Amino acid sequence: MASAVSPISDYLATLYKTLHNNTQGEIATYIPELGLADPSSFGICIATVDGQVYTAGDVDIRFTIQSMSKPFIYGYALQQHGQEKVQKKVGVEPTGESFNSIVLDELTNRPFNPMVNAGAIAVTELVEGDTPERRLTEMVDWFSRFAGRELDIDESVFRSEQATGHRNRAIAYMMLNTGMLERDPEDVLDLYFRQCSLSVDCKDMAVMAATLAAQGVNPLTRERVLAVDNVRDVLTVMSTCGMYDYAGQWAYDVGFPAKSGVSGGVIAVIPGQLGVAVYSPPLDRVGNSVRGVEACKKLSHDFSLHLFDGRTDVHSVIRREYTGAVPSKRVRSAAEREFLAKFGERLNVIEVQGALFFGSAENFLRRLTEIAQDGKTIVVDMKRVAYADRTAIELICQTARALSGRNCELIFTELSENPELERLRRALDERVCPETGFSRLDDTDIAIEQFEDAILEEAEMRRNDRIIPLDEIDIFNGLSSDDLRTLSAAVTTFQFDAGQKIINEGDDARIFFVVGRGSVSIWVNVDGRRPRRIGSVGQGGPFGEMALLDGGKRSADVIADVPVICYGFSVDGIREISVDSPTIMTTILGNLVRIMSDRLRLANDEIRALQ
């Protein structure tokens, strides 16, 4: 099987190469162990809310979580103690100050928010446990649930922080003096330093961010870690305070919640879609990773991820999938149906719906590449797609180009009538070469029918261009030679050009037809919208046959697909000749009941297959 195509992985690889040459920034040295990091280390990871992970660069290098721990421990405090109690300990206002400022709210004596050191120390005191050991176990377990694996502590970094963390000690003792800390500051600081020294890699942090993006459910373990309301509060504070005194410009330029750490990490959360983690030790003047900030800027711009662009959830983008086991609406013989059933797995239909943006397009295209095996025909039904933004268009075109060159026939349908998809339609027509196996059709059923026709043609089972005689037509099966001669005297032969309307909806039903050569399609108008093709009748198939039963009004239009020759039979004429040859009418009606029964059975099979 061919390897999977991933435009996301390709994008990250390109982004990594572009930013790796950026050598700006300085490694943090006020914690001596952090100063030992390799400034060239650089990794990017994206984790989607359904557990897909994309990586580029040094994503397996371990580093310490540092201040990126603050949103998660804040979530712990909210979950264990509730919003009211937590807000008595720490506020939610931005400070405009650096992360380690020794400053409290003059009115309440609280730290301004949980993203600065003072607020994080106050929140860490809320970790539950009767002893330091139990509190440590509680804390590590909490972070491990976000990462989806058991985390541990980098003891060398912990000892380095403990030995040099004098500014944090000043903050802690000041809060003891104002009543914001109740336990021994050294005990609280010990847990805080260990919390900041948790050892993670880029993939861990992306999964942790994706857990917040997925409303608190870990995308790998499927465990609910954080309640939805608490996720909202965490992301809100990350949005306003997560990037310290760069938070306002970050919100303007990038536009999604994020948190940085002085070890060189940045995490970002795109709610409902994905989590991002970047690791690169050199920092800018405010303590944020230089490459991390630039990577997030590019992701936001290139994939339209700014929260105020307006997006929806990605999980429901694929409405339904089915194979060729669900046939087209072309009326076929029993032998043809039996033969085609053997090849149903060679065709897949994916019905896409909703809005296509980065998250939803990634979800749909990943599934598309999974089923794009050699020899497959894939029909992508876009009838229910509301719109596609520029990011989705780019990803779709990249994937279509890659897949259509892999002996995979890719057909996009139902694009023509939606003005919101004009840019996508034009991009596919201009950028994806049809010679490589890509095509675009207006109707999904036509695409399935063409697939079936190709299978039948391979097996030389398609009927030829001769005009089929009456004795080979199913609706006349069982008639004697004399009856057929009598019937032939009552037939009128009609010729229709391709596109010519044979039956108009609402006309009186006085005649029924049988296709002698060619094919016709049946169309209905639904709610005043464009006509929908609901069936196709080929050589030997009857249409308009309900005239034999009720003689009412026509319920649909019938249009010639190609130049067509039809046999026409007047209902009154059939009744007249049946006076002297009664077996003609009874045989035709018996065959008609059988044909209608077969169609009903096929419709039931289709409904079951689409459940």
Tens of pLDDT along 359-413? 899 999 999 998 887 778 999 999 999 889 999 999 999 999 888 767 788 999 9
**What mean pLDDT do residues 350-362 have?**
91
Beta strand ranges found along 377-433 (DSSP E): 377-388, 409-413
- Which tens digit of pLDDT belongs to each residue from 218-232? 999 999 999 999 999
Tokens of 208: 């942790």
Listed in sequence order, the DSSP H helices in 165-227 are: 166-178, 185-196, 202-213
Asked if residue 602 has pLDDT above 90, the reply is no
- Which tens digit of pLDDT belongs to each residue from 154-168? 999 999 999 998 888
Query: Within a 13 Å sphere around the CA of 103, how many CA atoms are in the beta-carbon half?
Result: 13
Tokens of 283: 């920092």
Asked if residue 2 has pLDDT above 60, the reply is no
Q: Is 70 a catalytic residue?
A: yes
The highest-confidence range among 16-25, 477-486, 568-577, 599-608, by mean pLDDT, is 16-25
d(CA 212, CA 146): 9
**What mean pLDDT do residues 107-113 have?**
77
As a whole number, the mean pLDDT across the chain is 88
Q: Is 262 a catalytic residue?
A: yes
Q: Is 252 a catalytic residue?
A: no
Beta strand ranges found along 59-186 (DSSP E): 63-64, 152-153
Give the model's pLDDT for residue 97.
Answer: 59
Give the model's pLDDT for residue 292.
Answer: 97
The highest-confidence range among 253-267, 376-390, 414-428, 568-582, by mean pLDDT, is 253-267
pTM over 0.85: no
Asked if residue 180 has pLDDT above 60, the reply is yes
d(CA 189, CA 163): 11
**What mean pLDDT do residues 434-445 have?**
84
Asked if residue 520 has pLDDT above 80, the reply is yes
Choosing from 116, 262, 514, 520, the catalytic residue is 262
Confidence of residue 414 (pLDDT cuts 50, 70, 90): very high
Query: Are 565 and 518 contacting, i.e. CB atoms less than 8 angstroms apart?
Result: yes
Q: Which phi and psi (to 5°) does residue 189 adopt?
A: -65, -35
- Which tens digit of pLDDT belongs to each residue from 229-239? 999 999 999 99
CA 529 vs. chain centroid, Å, equals 28
d(CA 113, CA 130): 26
Query: Are 142 and 72 contacting, i.e. CB atoms less than 8 angstroms apart?
Result: yes
Asked if residue 264 has pLDDT above 60, the reply is yes
Query: Are 440 and 428 contacting, i.e. CB atoms less than 8 angstroms apart?
Result: yes
d(CA 603, CA 228): 43
- Which tens digit of pLDDT belongs to each residue from 459-476? 877 666 678 888 888 888
Beginning with the edge strand found earlier in the chain, give each strand of the sheet holding 43-48 in spatial order: 53-57, 43-48, 274-279, 265-270, 258-260
Asked if residue 610 has pLDDT above 60, the reply is no
> CA torsion 195→196→201→204, rounded to 10°?
50
- Which tens digit of pLDDT belongs to each residue from 60-87? 999 999 999 999 999 999 999 999 999 9
Give the model's pLDDT for residue 434.
Answer: 72
Choosing from 5, 53, 67, 290, the catalytic residue is 67
Query: Are 429 and 440 contacting, i.e. CB atoms less than 8 angstroms apart?
Result: yes
Asked if residue 93 has pLDDT above 90, the reply is no
The highest-confidence range among 4-18, 98-112, 329-343, by mean pLDDT, is 4-18
Residues in contact with 258: Cβ distance below 8 Å, sequence separation at least 6, in sequence order: 238, 242, 243, 250, 266, 267, 268, 269, 296
Q: DSSP state, 41? A: -
Q: Looking at this protein, which amino acid is placed at residue 220? A: L
**What mean pLDDT do residues 286-291 have?**
93
d(CA 117, CA 123): 10
Q: Is 53 a catalytic residue?
A: no
Q: Is the model more confident about 284 or about 312?
A: 284
Asked if residue 1 has pLDDT above 50, the reply is no
Q: Is 244 a catalytic residue?
A: yes
The set of long-range contacts for 400-405, using a CB threshold of 8 Å and a minimum separation of 24, is: 400/428, 400/432, 400/438, 401/431, 401/432, 401/433, 401/436, 401/438, 402/5, 402/7, 403/5, 403/368, 403/369, 403/372, 403/378, 404/432, 404/433, 404/436, 404/437, 404/438, 405/436, 405/437
Go through the domains of the chain in sequence order and give each one's CATH number. Answer: 7-309 (3.40.710.10), 318-458 (3.30.750.24), 470-609 (2.60.120.10)
Query: Are 7 and 398 contacting, i.e. CB atoms less than 8 angstroms apart?
Result: yes
Please state, for a pLDDT cut of 90, what percent of the chain lies above it: 52
Asked if residue 485 has pLDDT above 80, the reply is yes
- Angle (nearest 5°) at CA 234 between 229 and 238: 150
Choosing from 70, 203, 259, 329, the catalytic residue is 70
Choosing from 16, 54, 74, 192, the catalytic residue is 192
Asked if residue 270 has pLDDT above 90, the reply is yes
Q: Is the model more confident about 108 or about 481?
A: 481
Collapsing DSSP to helix, strand or coil, 516 comes out as strand
Query: Are 400 and 428 contacting, i.e. CB atoms less than 8 angstroms apart?
Result: yes
**What mean pLDDT do residues 48-52 have?**
94
Residues in contact with 489: Cβ distance below 8 Å, sequence separation at least 6, in sequence order: 577
Choosing from 74, 76, 244, 246, the catalytic residue is 244
Give the model's pLDDT for residue 194.
Answer: 96
Asked if residue 4 has pLDDT above 60, the reply is no
Site of tokens 């990594």: 16
